[in-house]
Structure 1
Amino acid sequence: MKIEYAIIIKNKTRLEALIERFNTKAQAQFYIESSGGDFQEYVAEHEKFYQSFLEVQTKLSKVIKNKVIEKEFVPSYIFSEKNLIIVIGQDGLVANVAKYSKNIPIIAINPDEERYDGTLLPFNVKNFLNGITSVINESFNSKKMRFAEAVLNDGQKLLAVNDLFIGMSSHSSARYKIVLNGKEEMHSSSGIIVSTKTGSTGWLSSIFNMAFGILGSKKLKYPSLNDDDLYFAVREPFKSIRTQTEICGGTIKSGNTLIVESLMPNNGFIFSDGIEQDFLQFNSGATAEIRLSEEMAVLVIN
């Protein structure tokens, strides 16, 4: 299939979000500086991003036709097999886009290597054309990113590249029944994080960092995940007469399923990859099966 169009996907910078909130740059600057913040850091980050963005667009336009889509429109955009997806931004943007990519190769570019870790950003503005050429010539190397999925008993499904969160949409305790390998418990907790290997350096790692800080780094180690495993952790489980704390973390092997039954009359939900707008309602009567999905995304690597 001949690639006809490159779709460049970007997100608003923090400065743009501030100006959107406060209407003008001057008002945004006044708010940040009056609170003791460093407004110039927002400006520098914004300028660096657009310097990189312009360089990517200029180089790309000499190779293939392209158009730009903002992150907010990605869920409603219909990608074609004739497209090539280019993501320029932070790691989280790659995860947000991957769920809608339909196995179309993704070239992810780190626009600011001094600010962004780039775990999911194999390319930079200097070498990304190598990835473009390899995809056009159908000779590219890639990393398959397996999704986690939550499937409700009414058939609704939600995918996640990094992680799923199952809990309450407020700070109230989540109440649910959890079942793994035939063992079940009643829980009251701050919710459950389910992570893929791709996402294990993100939210899941913060849970381990917290535990390291409390117990000391010599007592714990990060879990070793395979590409075909998921790992789950229960946040702040509460033990009481009616609730237990034995099933608080572990591996969900390929082919296995974690079952969670909601006991929350309202405000229960499941969201993916840190985006609360991308969610399923999860109230009393709903049961979710959490497992590794057969679907995956294709991330081009250098």
Structure 2
Amino acid sequence: MDPMQHRIVLVTRRTRLEDLITRLNTVEQTRFYVQHMGADFSDYEAEHAVYQQAVVAVETQLRRLGRVQRLDRSLVASFLFPPDCVVVVLGQDGLVANTLKYLRGQAVIGVNPDPTRWDGVLLPFLAKDLSVVVPEVQAERRPTRSISMARVRLSDGQELHAVNDLFIGPRTHVSARYTIQSGSQRELHSSSGVIVSTGLGSTGWFRSLLTGALRMTGAEGLDTLTALQAHGFAWEARHLYFTVREPFPSRSTQAELVFGKVDEQHPLQLHSHMSD
């Protein structure tokens, strides 16, 4: 096939510097604002320069391999990705996760624009790798990994999907009151909310929750939690984990059902006791 018949969508984002210039209109006003906040403006400039260099390098590589359409992250939610396209995301991890929500089976290649700055759990490739990786993906010769997403169905019929985590709780810093049911166990809760994590998200917020719990309790002997905290769980796993934030036991609320697995046979149900 003629390489120019291959469709490639390059997803990019604005840098911190670009975001501030958009808000404040000029570089000098942005410099004053950043320095007034006590931050190092040169760090903003360095991050911007490295990212722009990465954009040029990636786009140059991709234009040799197919027809490239560049897409800013602000347009991802409304963009119709061609079913046969290859999607290249120029980090960070959050940009990859956000893009994945709007795809239907297209291959995604995560590229780390600045390895000295970003760990890049979802960004295994550099710009120089694309000349090999993209043709292999286009020819379906590259090993891939599938992911499982979390889905929540609301009482009004709406559905929400999450690549990393679902947070179920109040909009503000007040306690959430609800009934939670997992399997045959059912409790009335007052807490800061519930986080439901996917395998892809298990190295992020989920890890932070387990790290805090293990450190507070000294529960390093709990093999399952320790293994989850260290390694997460498989991206394609057909289950999720839920974690209750800051459960508060009282005369009317319990705090035993605070962590567990969610799967097709054992869905998690929450019934709100709040007015909104």
Q: Would you call these one fold, judging by a TM-score over 0.5?
A: yes
Are 1:37 and 2:39 matched, yes or no? yes
CA distance, structure 1, for counterparts of residue 195 and residue 144 of structure 2? 27
SS in 2 for 1:211: helix
If asked which structure has higher relative contact order (CA below 8 Å, sep 6+), I would say 1
CA distance, structure 2, for counterparts of residue 38 and residue 213 of structure 1? 33
Pairwise CA RMSD: 1.8
The structure with the largest strand share of the pair is 1
- Work out whether residues 61 and 130 of structure 2, in 8 Å CA contact, stay in contact via their aligned partners in 1: no
**Unpaired segments ≥5 residues, structure 1:** 267-302
Kindly provide the CA deviation profile for residues 191-244 of structure 1, in whole angstroms up to 9, marking residues without a partner as x. Answer: 111111111110111112222443346366253635222111100011111111
Q: What amino acid maps onto 1:42 in structure 2?
A: Y
Pick from 263, 269, 288 the counterpart of residue 273 of structure 2: 263
Q: What amino acid maps onto 1:253 in structure 2?
A: D
Query: How far is the alpha carbon of 1:252 from its aligned partner?
Result: 1.6
The structure with the largest helix share of the pair is 2
Q: What amino acid maps onto 2:90 in structure 1?
A: I
- Work out whether residues 196 and 243 of structure 2, in 8 Å CA contact, stay in contact via their aligned partners in 1: yes
CA distance, structure 2, for counterparts of residue 222 and residue 206 of structure 1? 13
Are 1:242 and 2:252 matched, yes or no? yes
Pick from 135, 140, 143 the counterpart of residue 141 of structure 1: 143
Query: How far is the alpha carbon of 1:89 from its aligned partner?
Result: 1.2
- Work out whether residues 208 and 222 of structure 1, in 8 Å CA contact, stay in contact via their aligned partners in 2: no
- Work out whether residues 176 and 187 of structure 1, in 8 Å CA contact, stay in contact via their aligned partners in 2: yes
Listed as ranges, the matches of 1:83-162 within 5 Å are 83-162=85-164
Aligned residues: 266
Are 1:252 and 2:238 matched, yes or no? no
Query: How far is the alpha carbon of 1:66 from its aligned partner?
Result: 0.6
CA distance, structure 1, for counterparts of residue 10 and residue 152 of structure 2? 29
- Work out whether residues 4 and 65 of structure 1, in 8 Å CA contact, stay in contact via their aligned partners in 2: yes
Q: What amino acid maps onto 2:44 in structure 1?
A: Y
Pick from 14, 19, 22 the counterpart of residue 20 of structure 1: 22
CA distance, structure 2, for counterparts of residue 10 and residue 128 of structure 1? 16
Q: What amino acid maps onto 2:233 in structure 1?
A: L
| Corresponding residue for residue 76 of structure 2 | 74
Query: How far is the alpha carbon of 1:4 from its aligned partner?
Result: 3.3
**Identity percentage of aligned residues:** 40
TM-score normalised according to structure 1 size:
0.83
Closer, same or farther: CA 198–88 of 1 in aligned 2, 3 Å: same
Misfit runs of 4+, over 4 Å = none
